[in-house]
Structures are given as C-alpha cells and as structure tokens.
Structure 1
C-alpha cells in the first residue's frame, strides 16, 4: 500500500501546547488519551499491547521505532491497547529475520494512528516539567479551536475506571490441571507474560473477570490468588478492594502486581496518589529492603501508594523502594501471606532481575498448604 508520507498531523496537549509531525494518511477520527512516555530502548510491541496502557497516548523516547518489526508471539494481549503513538523516526521496513510483519502493518491492522517526525525530546521534557495530561492527535491541523473544545470534554485519568475495558469477559483456564498449585488470577488487565511465568512454574491457572467476587474465585479452590496489573485509577475498583480484604481475612496466599499492588494497599487503608508523570521504562532501580540487593525493573504506572501512610500503617511494611525517588515499590502485609510490588517482575519487556518474586509466591502457597 502506498502512503502519503507528507500528511501533516498535530498533537495538542491540554495546556494548549502544540507539537507538529507527519502521519501516513489522514486519521479517520481524532484520538484522545492521557499523554505518557516510555524510556525503553526496546520492547515497543509489548508496550503497545500492554493493557495497562489503555486510554493513553504513548510517546517513545527511543529515536527509532519499528526497525525490528513485530513477532506474533511477543504481544502482551490480543490487541493494541494504546490510543495512539508519537515517535521521532518510524521505520517502515523491519530488518529482523523472525519478524512476522512490519510495525506499520501491525498498527494499520489495529487502526492505530501514528505521528512521527515529532521533536520527542522537547515533548518529553514538557511532560516531565508540567506533568501527564490529556492530549488529542489529529490531521485537522487548521482547526485547533475545535480540537481544544473536543479535548476539554475528555475525562481525566484521575477517578477513571478502565479495568472493565480490558479484562476478560469470561473465565478461562490454562496450565497443568494436575498441579498442586492452583492460581486464581483476578484480571484487571493482565499481561500474557504474567500467565507465562505462572505456567512455566507448573501452575494450573484460572483467569477471572475484573468484577469477580472472592466467593467466585474460592469456588474453584485455588491455593493462591494473583491480583494483576491494569489501567486507570485503582480507587473506583471497589469489588477488587473487597476481594483483597477477604483474601487477607481468610489468609489466602495473595500476590499483587502494579494495579494489584495498589488494590492491596487500599484494602488496608493506604491511599493512592496520581503521580506527576509516572514511571514507565525498563531500567528502573529498586532496592529489596530485606536483602539490601538492588534490581533493575520494568515499570508502567501513573498512580502510586502514599509512602507516609504506608510507613505508619500497622498492617503493612515496606519491602521495596524505588531508588530514583524513594517511592514505595513493594509491601508485605504483616502476619498475612500477602505481598505486592509496584513494578513488573514478569518483565516483557525488561530485565529478569525480579522474577524471583514468582518463586516467593509459589513458596508461600507451598508453606500455607503444609501448615494447613
């Protein structure tokens, strides 16, 4: 297919700032979402298909996007989840031997708009200074007033429940049916690699919709519960918070990842906060407070839990700290078989420094089973 690479496009931020670029063809409709950036040097396919990015326009800081194409086995969900892509140089011809198709075709099939030739250094600097905000992508470059009016109507990420948009509609199973470890996953927007990490350790897994009750999960007789990552504000997810409370009350081995971490914190009275621009990348340094060892981790979150409230909470202890800003990166619930982290131990993309947390979860399930 031939493209007009000179089609002008515009990115308009909620504060009125405008960035110009090009796109392959006129957009069929404008795209809106919260603007965010990821600093990863690789892993763009996993990022674009990560359900945690639902409702967000992605800015990539790496200068070249698309140069190694797309491999069907490396997606983190069944579809592209970002609202739009902003990049500097878009590579139309992949040079990777085992790529199935080009990123151009992949995004075209997903009807996802891309604006390239944007000064992404200036854009990211602006977001760092002024914070994450809503934005609109359009090829209607001469109608900025109309775009501003449309953007004003778009809801803020604060208070927005999005897990229902990406969670499975029906429960499903995978893994070894004869396994002694039966893991119930509350799907708030889980990545496939989380399920892979459970499956490669021999678990039998059942993935439940986001609004499933504690009783729904326990009817399956799990040996442990994992509360997954996902998009949006955690506070509106009242049913998930109640489920986490029941997990603690009944002392069910529970592991929370990212949004799941925030849900567990809320269940013990620790409030969550909207971050200035969030943590999104694959080189975030974390320190394990028990061992003193540091890890390089993959992160993707725009909300965090309040540190002062965590330190003063009688039910929780800080297990991991983010070394860049000293924010809470993990907690353990005292005298309960429950822990959670703000980052992604399953990686995909990213380093494998934190995969031991899955082993800790399996050890916790084994210990509770023996003591029972």
Structure 2
C-alpha cells in the first residue's frame, strides 16, 4: 500500500495558498485491506474511505471508462493493479493532477507544476471531453485563479467548444450546474466563469438568459461600457469586491438586468420597464436550475427594485416603505443590507464609475433601521382590530422614515 496526497492540497501549496481539503489516493490496496486497517468506507460509486481519526478522504486509485452520456455515464475500475499515473490521468486539469508522497516528493507526470508556473488551465488528456462537468469546473477554476493570471489553454478551450458542438454539454443535470455556478459566484473573479463559458459557446446552452444580454446596447451616458453583457460582468466583479465570497450577492448581480435582453428593438438603447421584464427570465432560470429559495428571493428583489434604490432620494416616504415591504425587510431584516450592496454593485459596475460613491446604500440602511425600530408597544392599540393595528404600524414606520431622512 502506497499513499499520496493529491489534488487541491498539493496545487494550493504550490500556489502559496492553504485552503483546500486534504485528499489522498491509495495505490496497491483493496477495500478489504482498507477496512482491516481501520478506514471506514463511504463511497457509493467508487471506493472512498475516511481515516478513523482525521476523517480525511482516502480513495483507491481508479480508472474510468465512458459508457454513456453525461457525467454519470462512467464505469469505474479500482484494484491493486491501477497505478498512480493511471489515477492522475483521469483528472480534469494538470494543476489538479499532481501527487505528493510521504517524503514530500512530487509526482507530476502531466506537467502540472509547469502549468502552475505558467498560469495555465490545461486538460490532462483527451478523456476531458467525456465529462461535461469538466467544462463547468474549468470556468469555476478560472473564476478562482484569474486574479493570479491564469488563463485557459487554447487546446483546452478547443475541447470545450467540441463538447458544446457534440451536445455533451446538454446532458448536464441542473443540480450539478447550480453546484458549480454557486461556487463560482463566490470566487474572486466570478465574471471569469461567465467569460469562459461564453468563449466556449456554452453560456447560450447553460445560461441563455445571461448570454442574451451580450450585444444589447445601453445609454452611454449611464453605461459607458454600453454592452449589457459587459455591464453584467462588471457588476459581478464589483460583487466580488464589495461582498467577497458571497454567492447570494453574486447571483443577484448576475441576474439583475436580465430584462434588458427583452427590450423591443425600437426602444433601444433605453430600457423602460426592464426591471419588470426581468422577472420572467429570472424565475425561468431559477426553476430550470433548481435555485434555492433564498437566492431566488434576493435576486427577484434586486431585479425589481434596483432602479428604485438608485433614486431613493426622489421617492416619497410611503414609496420607500413599500420598497422595504416588497423586499420582505421587516420579516427578513438581513435582506435589506444585501439589496443595498447588490444595488451598489450595479451602480459601480460601470466603466469609469468603479470608485464613485453610492450614498443610496447608506440611505436605505438608515431609513430601514429607523422604520424597523418602531414597535407596536409605542402605539395605542386598545380596541383596535388586526387590520387597524397593521395600518397604524405602517403609518408609524412611514413617519420614522420621514424623520430619518429629515435628519440627514
């Protein structure tokens, strides 16, 4: 039995990062031997075991053979004859196909160390095209490592385009798309996820609502970048800056302007009612990808209200109250801060406006806290019905909003 540290832990150490979980591959062993050594089996599709003390994962070296469409269409072979090189060959990218033995010596048969130094995301073998999830993983790793200068190798991008052309990408299951997308939206450069998928031709198949934004013009006085797709990329980049690691804000940033793709051609470059038009494609995306409720609700709120937040100083006190109410702020107070941040991402995710102040976010937070502080204990509710209580609370909250704005 030989044990090697593999994958992300080795890659991240070479990059000077220390974030990845430690995974191991075991060569020359059997499931029975692993159990006898005190490891607990947990793998359903292939032999994976947990260490009795550290609970770290140890997987028997294995190979995979394509048997059908999609990422589940594989037959797995694991026995003592499978070599370390065989196991590393089935991995997606060379930077993830480096092993380290018990003495700290690297085993790098596919040039992963070279590609880390050259900042290249490159496939290990032609078997890359057999698993459509790898296309998503490359885009996600681009979102993580683009700030370090990583780019996708031309030959790998060619294979990704081939996966789109041959229909392999159409066999991705919604849950896996969302899993990879959610992780990408919390990375340092989530816009790279969209850029890589678009370059591969996969964005139109996976996120057609986002792909449709490219080439749609906006008014240059408000959007010097003009293109709605480029604006979305810039908003994603701002989301990573203002709310690092927050995929909720990232998803709201990605979807806030979907309605612009539905603006009638004769109305361009204006986008009247785009915040209302955007709800249908947003909900369609959420339904298709089985997006969790908390992501959907925040994204809908930002899509619907972002123009109202931008012009909050022009709104009546009662209208500000209604905006907060529609965002479910009084029941979900954390929602208002997230809406404020997402709207700031939209305002500053524009060419030349990245450093521009956005006082509307502070205004929204301030008036919300004032309205939220109103308690029914302060009201004379004796003999009042439920409807009357609700109306009195509403009026008191609007008054609190008015007072908070007057104190600026």
TM-score by length of 1: 0.26
- Which one has a larger percent helix, Structure 1 or Structure 2? 2
- Which one has a larger percent strand, Structure 1 or Structure 2? 1
| Higher RCO, 1 vs 2 (CA within 8 Å, ≥6 residues apart) | 1
TM-score by length of 2: 0.24
